[in-house]
Structure 1
Amino acid sequence: MPLSPATRFAVAPMIDWTDRHCRFFHRQLTSRALLYTEMVVADAVIHGDRERLLGFDGAEHPVALQLGGSDPEKLARAARIGAAFGYDEINLNVGCPSDRVQSGAFGACLMREPALVGDCLQAMGEAVDVPVTVKCRIGVDEQDPEPALDDLADAAVRAGVAGIWVHARKAWLQGLSPKENRDIPPLDYERVFRLKARLPPKVFVGINGGLSTVDAAVACLDRVDGVMMGRGAYQVPGQLAEIDARIYGDSAPAVDLPAVVATMADYAERHIAAGGRLVHVARHMTGLFTGLPGARRWRQTLSEAGSRRDAGPELFAEALSFVDLDAEPRAA
């Protein structure tokens, strides 16, 4: 099944960060970008609390579910469940280097098993009527990225995958922590560009890794079909307000950030009424005004006062009062 035009820009799946509250917040800043869940293990989807793991607000569309696993049958079952929840795309993680995925023989470990990845993707694709994609690295450990990435991509294409997202770094499963794997292995964008040039034009190839600004994302779009931003989108979310115009060519009015804060206050109020806490929402918003005078007070207020058990949505208005919205933004 073909991918939606939304895939031209995506916010990456990030464990502990891109939960439903984060995605709802990001959606207030861009109506067009594709948003991703955190990685959810197939076994958890099958046997766990599905509403807690998979539930999302309809405003989040278009939104993709990322699954972790290496058993084709289980991944097919989990993909079917995710599609029934209304996700617009199902993605297989072949890039996460954490200890958890190594012990479970999935994530980046699967770079060594392209035939199994193909089997997983084929089973997932046959189980659902939404696009199935894969997100991988250029290789792991001592692999040569030239044959390693080609072998993985070719297996995915044979399986009928709708798109391939490539984090343009190796994953070092031996010797580097998951955090170090996000920074230390050198970026190799040219390797991803060569993959795109080699594959048939109809095969979607998107790039991820180190793209921390919209300028950097735009610069890649003449070489690949889509760009995926991770920490840059999370840590400086205000730049997502540029996406609809700069990536998709929309001419809608500029995003009204105080209105976004008001929307999030209403959202937080509903979340608290349902038994949640303000911090679950506020923690994703601390970088919203990065570069403006008062951004530090905004961040401190949400981080410190927002963590109190009795904190309420009125805290957003208090924190906003410290921000000089009329000032010219400084470089982040």
Structure 2
Amino acid sequence: MSVDPAKQGISGVRRASRLSVAPMMDWTDRHCRVLHRLLSSETLLYTEMVTAPALVRGGALHLLDHSAREHPVALQLGGSDPEELAAAARLGQTAGYAEINLNVGCPSDRVQSGTFGAVLMKSPALVAECCAAMIDAVDVEVTVKCRIGVDDQVPEEVLPEFIAQVGAVGVERFAIHARMAWLDGLSPKENRDIPPLNYPLVMQMKQLFPALHLSVNGGVDSLDQAEAFLEAGLDGVMIGRAAYHQPADMLCAADRRIFGGTAPDTTPEGAVQAMLPYIEAHLAAGGRLHQVTRHMLGLFAGRPGARGWRRAISEGASKPGAGPELVEAALLHVTERCAA
């Protein structure tokens, strides 16, 4: 897939962020992003979080690997050192990413120990300094993904002050996960579910900062819900686990419903067929089938034959010699049920 130049500039990426797939550790790798791009040509995709120290000190530039077919795609960075983040952002721009996003939302212990992620909600001045350094270092847009607050903070007080300070240095686009992060007492998994969602607060931020581009994240599990947020005045919607576990439901109609496209909606069956050459190339380069197909398990969620599809892929993809023919055979569980 060639890269549309219109999707590469700031305005193009900002348009794409009307709907985006959240950065998710261990999930939104390059294989997942290729699959999602086959389902939607417009939706903005994000990498997994890549730490600035890994790139700058560790030289792990392979973490930036991606293909042109994934665009528009953004790089999410984790870190808290302005100079290091600036250097990492330059590496990301050189690698071809259309946006650099700073993680101020991840609640994992590993992230806390490195003084970045959600714990940075306590240090808006530092976040502003980091963002200013990245903005000076690159030509692509620098954005922030944050929580509404952490631990004993009062979101109604903390979030507007955070946005004001970080926005003052030139950040114009924020994705706000509408939950607190409880760093003391909850696991990262629990932090994705237990803190209650506060969508009204995110809506209030749009009223307070009308010039900023604000996306809501957290708990969005349908295109109906995404459309409702956009109609209510938000600039974008970022979807997470629903896009991974039910990718067809969230992405196949997105180009038409969210972006006003006129092309026919994509189908999961079509995506499977389109993935076969990609899988062949991955295997020829020494990869394993399960590295790709693990992201495809939810393609037919809720459809007749979905269980047979998942079982065939789960049980067979890790076996030595497994290849595209396994995927084609697994697809029969769906297509034959539909034809019956």
> What TM bracket, shorter-length normalisation?
over 0.9
Per-residue deviation, 1:10 = 0.2
1:17: which partner in 2?
27
2:221: which partner in 1?
212
| Number of residue pairs matched by the alignment | 327
Structure 1 residues 254 and 325: CA distance shift in structure 2, 3 A: farther
1:5 and 1:198 map into 2 onto residues whose CA distance is: 21
Question: Does residue 296 of structure 2 align to residue 291 of structure 1?
Answer: no
Question: Does residue 317 of structure 2 align to residue 274 of structure 1?
Answer: no
Q: 3-state SS of the aligned residue for 1:139?
A: coil
Structure 1 residues 233 and 227: CA distance shift in structure 2, 3 A: same
User: What are the superposed Cα offsets for residues 117-174 of structure 1, whole Å, 9 maximum, x if unpaired?
Assistant: 0001111111000000000000000000011111110111101013011000000000
Alpha carbons 1:43, 1:74 under 8 Å: kept: yes
Question: Does residue 127 of structure 2 align to residue 123 of structure 1?
Answer: no
264, 269, 276: which one aligns with 1:265: 276
Q: 3-state SS of the aligned residue for 2:144?
A: strand
Q: 3-state SS of the aligned residue for 2:180?
A: strand
1:296 and 1:83 map into 2 onto residues whose CA distance is: 41
Q: TM-score, normalised by structure 2?
A: 0.93
> Which residue identity is paired with 1:136?
C
197, 202, 210: which one aligns with 2:211: 202
Per-residue deviation, 1:242 = 1.1
Alpha carbons 2:104, 2:117 under 8 Å: kept: yes
Q: 3-state SS of the aligned residue for 1:279?
A: helix
Question: Does residue 47 of structure 2 align to residue 37 of structure 1?
Answer: yes
- More displaced 10-residue stretch of structure 1: 182-191 or 248-257: 248-257
1:24 and 1:161 map into 2 onto residues whose CA distance is: 28
- More displaced 10-residue stretch of structure 1: 261-270 or 278-287: 261-270
Give the 4+ runs in structure 1 shifted more than 3 A.
Answer: 47-51, 324-328
Aligned counterparts, 1:134-283, within 5 A? 134-199=144-209, 201-221=210-230, 222-239=232-249, 240-283=251-294
1:157 and 1:326 map into 2 onto residues whose CA distance is: 52
Unaligned runs of 5+ in 2: 1-9
User: What are the superposed Cα offsets for residues 40-85 of structure 1, whole Å, 9 maximum, x if unpaired?
Assistant: 0001111345442001011000000000000000000000000000
Per-residue deviation, 1:202 = 2.4
Alpha carbons 1:241, 1:254 under 8 Å: kept: yes
Alpha carbons 1:292, 1:325 under 8 Å: kept: no
> Which residue identity is paired with 2:219?
G
Alpha carbons 2:304, 2:337 under 8 Å: kept: no
2:332: which partner in 1?
321
2:6: which partner in 1?
none
1:251 and 1:43 map into 2 onto residues whose CA distance is: 43
Alpha carbons 2:227, 2:258 under 8 Å: kept: yes
88, 95, 108: which one aligns with 1:98: 108
Q: 3-state SS of the aligned residue for 1:171?
A: coil
Unaligned runs of 5+ in 1: none
Per-residue deviation, 1:254 = 2.2
2:319: which partner in 1?
308
1:26: which partner in 2?
36
> Which residue identity is paired with 1:280?
Q
2:59 and 2:265 map into 1 onto residues whose CA distance is: 39
Structure 1 residues 65 and 228: CA distance shift in structure 2, 3 A: same
2:143 and 2:211 map into 1 onto residues whose CA distance is: 14
Q: 3-state SS of the aligned residue for 2:238?
A: strand
> Which residue identity is paired with 1:173?
L
> Which residue identity is paired with 1:94?
V
Q: TM-score, normalised by structure 1?
A: 0.96
Alpha carbons 1:293, 1:323 under 8 Å: kept: yes
1:250 and 1:49 map into 2 onto residues whose CA distance is: 41
1:4: which partner in 2?
14
Identity over aligned residues, as a percent?
56
